C-alpha cells in the first residue's frame, strides 16, 4: 500500500510541475496513476491533503537520512552539519521541489501558504538546534537569529548560483560552510556585546504552534467534511439533474471559500437549497456546515 501511495504522490508531483497545481485536477491524477477514485480518496481527502502528503513524505525522507549521518561516528561537527544540510538541497533537486514551492508561495490559497510556512519553520528549528549542539548552550538565546541569518545567506547565494558555472554540489557545500562560519561569528559578537536578540525562542514556538489553530487545520477539517458530503450525495437516490446541481453547489462553495472575502449570503443560500434534498444525508450536511463555520 505504501509503495502505491508513493506512486500516486510522485505522479501528482510530476503533473503539478507540468500543469501547475491549479491546472491539475484530481481526475487527472487518478487517470495518470491508474487507480480508482475510491483508492485516491482512501489515501487523500483532497488536493491540498495530497500536497501535504508530498511535503510530509519528502520531509520524512530527509529526516531519516539526517539520522543516518548523525549515527555515523566517523562524521562529526561541521562535517556532519554540512552533509545533513546538503540533504535538503539534494532532496529538493531530486524531486524538483523548488518550482512546486514557488507555486505554493505565489498561491492565493491560505492553506497552501500555511503548508509552505510550516515546512520552512521546521527547517529553521532544525538549523537552530544544530547550532546549539555545535556551538554550546550559551548561544541558545541567539540561535533563532543565527538560523535565520544562515538560511538567508544560503538562499541568496543559491540565487546567485544560477549565473555561476561552478559544480553545484561543491558550490553548495562551500556556501553551507561559509554561512555556518558567519553564524558562529555572529554568536560570538552577540555574546561579547550582550545585545538582545531580535527574535526569541518563544517566537519560533508561536510559529510552530500555529499548526494547531491555523486555517491549515480548519481547511483539512473542511476538506474531510466536503468529501464526505460529496460521497453521500453520490450514494443517495437522487435524480440525475438534482445530483448534478448539488455537486455544482459544492464546487461553487469550495471556490467561494478561496476568495479573500467569501460571500456568506451566497453560501447560505446554497446550503438552504441542500436542505430540501438532505433526507438521506442530513447528519452529514450538519457536519459540513460546522466545518464551514471558521470560514464564514
pLDDT for the residue 52: 79
Q: Cβ(5)–Cβ(44) under 8 Å?
A: no
How remote is the C-alpha of 121 from its chain's centroid?
11
- Residue 186 binned pLDDT confidence (cut-offs 50, 70, 90): very high
What tens digit of pLDDT does each residue of 200-238 get?
A: 877 767 766 654 444 455 666 777 888 888 888 888 878
What tens digit of pLDDT does each residue of 70-117 get?
A: 999 999 899 999 999 988 777 777 777 777 777 777 776 776 677 777
Mean pLDDT (the chain) is 82
Residue 198 Cα distances to 142, 146, 294, angstroms: 8, 10, 33
C-alpha to C-alpha distance for 174 and 162, rounded to whole angstroms: 16
pTM for the structure as a whole: 0.62
Angle, in degrees to the nearest 10, between helices 215-235 and 282-292: 160
Residue 132 above 80 pLDDT? yes
Q: What is the mean pLDDT of residues 14-29?
A: 87
pLDDT for the residue 138: 94
C-alpha to C-alpha distance for 7 and 267, rounded to whole angstroms: 36
C-alpha to C-alpha distance for 172 and 90, rounded to whole angstroms: 10
Residue 127 above 90 pLDDT? yes
Which residue matches cell numbers 471559500? 257
Q: Cβ(98)–Cβ(168) under 8 Å?
A: no
C-alpha to C-alpha distance for 154 and 175, rounded to whole angstroms: 6
For residue 48, give the nearest of 121, 126, 98, 118 by alpha carbon.
118
Amino acid at each position: 500500500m505504501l509503495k502505491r501511495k508513493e506512486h500516486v504522490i510522485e505522479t501528482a508531483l510530476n503533473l503539478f510541475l507540468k500543469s501547475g497545481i491549479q491546472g491539475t485536477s484530481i481526475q487527472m491524477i487518478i487517470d495518470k496513476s491508474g487507480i480508482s477514485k475510491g483508492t485516491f480518496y482512501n489515501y487523500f481527502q483532497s488536493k491540498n491533503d495530497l500536497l501535504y502528503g508530498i511535503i510530509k513524505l519528502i520531509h520524512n525522507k530527509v529526516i531519516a537520512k539526517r539520522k543516518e549521518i548523525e549515527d555515523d561516528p566517523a562524521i562529526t561537527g561541521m562535517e556532519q552539519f554540512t552533509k545533513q544540510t546538503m540533504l535538503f538541497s539534494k532532496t529538493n533537486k531530486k524531486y524538483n521541489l523548488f518550482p512546486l514551492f514557488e507555486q505554493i508561495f505565489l498561491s492565493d490559497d491560505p492553506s497552501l501558504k500555511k503548508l509552505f510556512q510550516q515546512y520552512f519553520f521546521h527547517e529553521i528549528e532544525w538549523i537552530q538546534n544544530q547550532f546549539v549542539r555545535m556551538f554550546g548552550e550559551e548561544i541558545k538565546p541567539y540561535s533563532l537569529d543565527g538560523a535565520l541569518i544562515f538560511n538567508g545567506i544560503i538562499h541568496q547565494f543559491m540565487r546567485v548560483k544560477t549565473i555561476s558555472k561552478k559544480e553545484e554540489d561543491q558550490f553548495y557545500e562551500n556556501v553551507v560552510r561559509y554561512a555556518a562560519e558567519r553564524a558562529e561569528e555572529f554568536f560570538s559578537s552577540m555574546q561579547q556585546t550582550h545585545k538582545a536578540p531580535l527574535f526569541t525562542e518563544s517566537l519560533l514556538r508561536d510559529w510552530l504552534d500555529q499548526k494547531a489553530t491555523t486555517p491549515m487545520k480548519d481547511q483539512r477539517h473542511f476538506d474531510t467534511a466536503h468529501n464526505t458530503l460529496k460521497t453521500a450525495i453520490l450514494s443517495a437516490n437522487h435524480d440525475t439533474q438534482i445530483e448534478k446541481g448539488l455537486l455544482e453547489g459544492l464546487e461553487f462553495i469550495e471556490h467561494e471559500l478561496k476568495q479573500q472575502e467569501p460571500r456568506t449570503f451566497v453560501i447560505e443560500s446554497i446550503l438552504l437549497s441542500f436542505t430540501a434534498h438532505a433526507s438521506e444525508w442530513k447528519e452529514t450536511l450538519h457536519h459540513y456546515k460546522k466545518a464551514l463555520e471558521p470560514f464564514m
